[in-house]
Amino acid sequence: MKNYFKNKLVVSIEQAVAAPYCTAKLADAGARVIKIERKEGDFARYYDDFVKGNSTYFVWLNRGKESLIANIKDTKDVKLLKNIISKSDIFIQNLGPGILNKIGLDSTSLRRKYKSLITCDISGFGEKGPYSQLKAYDLLVQAETGLCSITGTEEAPGRVGVSVCDIACGMNAYSLILEALIKKEYSGKGSSIKISLFDSLSEWMNVPYLQYLYTKKSPKRVGLSHPSIVPYGAFLTKDKKNILFSIQNEREWNAFSKKIIKIEEKYRANFKNPSLRLKNKIKLNAIIKNSFYKIHSNILIKSFKKYKIAYGLLNSIKDFSSHPQLKTSHIKKKKQIFEFIPPVTLENKKDFGRIPELGEHSLKIRKEFKQ
């Protein structure tokens, strides 16, 4: 497979998830990514030790990168970093607001000096506004954006079980950098990208936001069901399997109500359209619950397939780990080999770079960029 990013140099002063997610994508695409770490290392290296003594987060997000230990309070190291950045195509950082301004490594200063440089600043709440100076972690932003208020059950709000704000921000940063690279191909000019966890998740919150803005009503927490589509949820079968399914149109409803759970004609008028099904949600869900409890999951699945109704099993992580659709690959760290779930790639890429030890490439990089 041709490497279109082979000659692209990315320098990233990064930690945690959002920026490393973005640079992992760039490394996967073939770019050379130099990860700048303090002497203690990216603190994500120590979130846990579940992967043969390594952090799950670090294994996931740092394949294919080079690790350079540098101290941004040391004038010699700052000089080294400036020299590396002067030869780079992309500079990314997700340190606290204003930290790099003191040493001339802020994006404004760098872009003024290097017109073709693409800079990307990742923050919690953005660089302006009353929250700009606050620390921000994924769950805090889930809470601030209202995501927790619509996640969970009627009894209590909940957290989305993965770092959704960090991932959204990293995805946005990656896509904006790709846009900037295309722009640079035509104009020769770099770009300044500024993206935050809050802004990234806010965009994802458009549906509940618009619903509230124009109705003054917030979506309710409904657990494993849908606030406006009925039926849509998980129900227990005769063999104690939870099957989650969704009815999206009248063809599906007619097949489901007449052929699968066989609702009596005298009750069908209560559920004849989506609005009535939503209005009579409790009654309908009770009928479905009683029906499913008498049917084996295999029979239900065959029926869903026959009538082209979307369904899924409520899997545990153990179930997911052996899912027949799951594709896995391998990455290395020294002599250790880890299995992981690879990202979507062009042309079925199978080889991914190694996970760096802390400072593994420091001597090589310092020699290469010595002035």
Under DSSP, the state recorded for 257 is: I
Query: Out of 25-39, 86-100, 147-161, 321-335, which region has the weakest mean confidence (pLDDT)?
Result: 321-335
- The whole domain housing 58 covers 9-205+326-368
pLDDT band of residue 328 (cuts 50, 70, 90) is confident
pLDDT digits 0-9 by tens, 254-271: 999 999 999 888 888 899
Same domain, 104 and 245: no
What is the model's pLDDT at position 348? 66
pLDDT at 1: 53
pLDDT at 37: 96
Give the Cα separation of 246 and 238 in Å (integer). Answer: 19
- Burial of residue 316 (CB within 10 Å: 0-12, 13-18, 19+) is exposed
Is residue 341, in this structure, part of any structural domain at all?
A: yes
Q: Which residue has the higher pLDDT, 219 or 88?
A: 88
| Cα 231 from Cα 285, distance rounded (Å) | 7
Side chain identity, residue 122: I
Same domain, 153 and 273: no
Residue 162 lies in a domain: yes
Tell me, yes or no, whether 153 lies in a domain.
Answer: yes
Residue 100 pLDDT > 60: yes
Which of 7-21, 134-148, 203-217, 327-341 is the least confident region?
327-341
Active site residue 166: yes
Is residue 214 domain-resident? no
- Is residue 256 domain-shared with residue 170, that is, in the same domain? no
Q: Is the bond preceding 343 in cis, omega lying within 30 degrees of 0?
A: no
Q: Do 363 and 290 belong to one domain?
A: no
* Same domain assignment for residues 152 and 23: yes
pLDDT in tens, 286-325: 999 999 999 999 999 999 999 999 999 999 899 888 888 8
Q: What is the reported pLDDT for 2?
A: 61
Q: Are 173 and 271 members of one domain?
A: no
Mean of the pLDDT values across residues 79-102? 92
Question: Can you give the CATH number for the domain in which 174 is found?
Answer: 3.40.50.10540
CATH number of the structural domain spanning residue 288: 3.30.1540
Q: Answer whether residue 78 shows pLDDT above 70.
A: yes
pLDDT digits (tens, 9 = 90+) for 36-73: 999 999 999 999 999 989 999 999 999 999 999 999 99
Q: Give pLDDT, residue 220.
A: 87
DSSP state string for 78-140: HHHHHHHHHT-SEEEE-SSTTGGGGGT-SHHHHHHH-TT-EEEEEESS-SSSTTTTS---HHH
Please report whether residue 50 resides in a domain: yes
Q: How far apart are the first and last CA of the chain?
A: 35
Indicate which residue of 121, 166, 199, 319 is catalytic: 166
Q: From CA 188, how far away is CA 103, in angstroms rounded?
A: 27
What is the pTM (predicted TM-score) of this model? 0.90
Check whether residue 304 and residue 333 sit in a common domain. Answer: no
For the chain, the average pLDDT equals 92
Q: Of 268, 286, 313, which marks where a domain is finished?
A: 313
Nearest to 291 by CA among 261, 334, 331, 263: 261
Q: Is 3's pLDDT higher than 90? A: no
pLDDT tens-digit series, residues 140-151? 999 999 999 999
What digits encode the pLDDT tens for the residues 109-119?
A: 999 999 999 99
Is 222 a domain residue? no
**Total number of domains in the chain:** 2
Burial (CB < 10 A; 0-12, 13-18, 19+), residue 131, is middle
* Contact yes or no for 271/284 (Cβ under 8 A): yes
Q: Is residue 215 part of a domain?
A: no
| 188 and 88 co-located in one domain | yes
Distance of CA 315 to CAs 81, 135, 275, 290, 302, Å?
Answer: 47, 35, 30, 22, 18
Distant-in-sequence, close-in-space partners of 318: CB < 8 Å, separation ≥ 6: none
Considering the domain boundaries, does residue 240 fall inside one? Answer: yes
Return the SS3 of 156: coil
